[in-house]
Amino acid sequence: MQTQISAAWSDTAAHKSGFVTANGIRLHYVDWGGLGPVLILIHGGLDNAHIFDDLAPAFTDHFRVIAYDLRGHGRSDAKGSFDTATRTEDLRGLMDSLGIAKAHLAGWSLGGNEITAMAGIHSERVDRMVYLEGAYDWGSPALADAFKSLPIDFMVPASAMRSLGAFRKYQKTIWFPAVGDTSRFEAYVRDLVVVQSDGTVRPRMTDSVAQEVLNTVLTNRPDYPKVPSRALAIYAETFLDVRNGDPAQLAKNLDWEKKYMAPFRAACIERVRRELPSVEIVKVPGTHKDFVFTSREQVVSAMQRFLRGMEKGL
């Protein structure tokens, strides 16, 4: 049964939030605490740090776990350039401000660009890397062609902005249909929008910033050969949901997946294996957006084994 969240909801999760100044802007971060090496989680484009609320606590027994809102996302400043080079310097500045000399990095979706660039430019600051549906050649013309035929609209319809409840329902229907308990991503949903005095909501990110971020996604090609760090790349079964919801929409999603995304994913995996010889590939059920919820146990197990392998000299 879907959990109902009241308007008086408050975030009681076991983490603290704060702000640091990094690379000339103010970045918002979330710190779940924990003991051991630092693990920094980096979200995807148009998302925010709270996408990790359900995943992060699984690692605090062996790691100090931190996530942050990328430039222009969530509660971080939205100014300057949004390209990968700039965001990589944001990450370095965040680590400097928090006194983190070296960390494991896990990048989801667009966040994969950050960890690749960070390891290539500042290898002394990076231990091991985990790509969470992030080891993709986002700048490939094949992906640009695929997105031109995307069977869903990235732009949120006006009907979903009538209330927080309507927006939550939209997010669940489009991106998290297999996740029954919406409380697992409630803080994430709330940080995507601002609730106005009349009860309607507006996006926290402006359309112009969203477009710049998407443009950045479609022009960046990761430079894997410069990466000396060991890497784990976790891939979801599909990009869009093909199992839950309206049958007509699912048919469109499946057709798009077979025609565009499956061959693109296969080409990306081939490139990653060729250019990151030490990479470990893991495939799990779920979609690009929901796999860390629907396949949480598999994701946590693979990450724990890979990251803790360093403790054992593996």
The whole-number pLDDT of residue 1 equals: 39
- Do 244 and 176 touch, CB atoms closer than 8 A? no
Residue 2 has pLDDT above 70, yes or no: no
The whole-number pLDDT of residue 266 equals: 98
Phi-psi sector, 313: left (phi>0), alpha (psi -120 to 50), beta: left
- Do 153 and 173 touch, CB atoms closer than 8 A? no
Q: What is the mean pLDDT of residues 251-269?
A: 97
Lookup result for tokens 């062996």: 62
Task: Tell me the pLDDT tens digit for each residue of 50-96.
Answer: 999 999 999 999 999 999 999 999 999 999 999 999 999 999 999 99
Task: Tell me the pLDDT tens digit for each residue of 162-213.
Answer: 999 999 999 999 999 999 999 999 999 999 999 999 999 999 999 999 999 9
The whole-number pLDDT of residue 124 equals: 97
Give me Rg for the CA atoms of the chain: 19
* Element at 284 (helix H, strand E): strand 280-287
Query: Domain coordinates of the chain in residue numbers?
Result: 16-308
Q: What is the mean pLDDT of residues 242-266?
A: 96
Q: Is the domain defined by 16-308 classed in CATH 3.50.50.60?
A: no
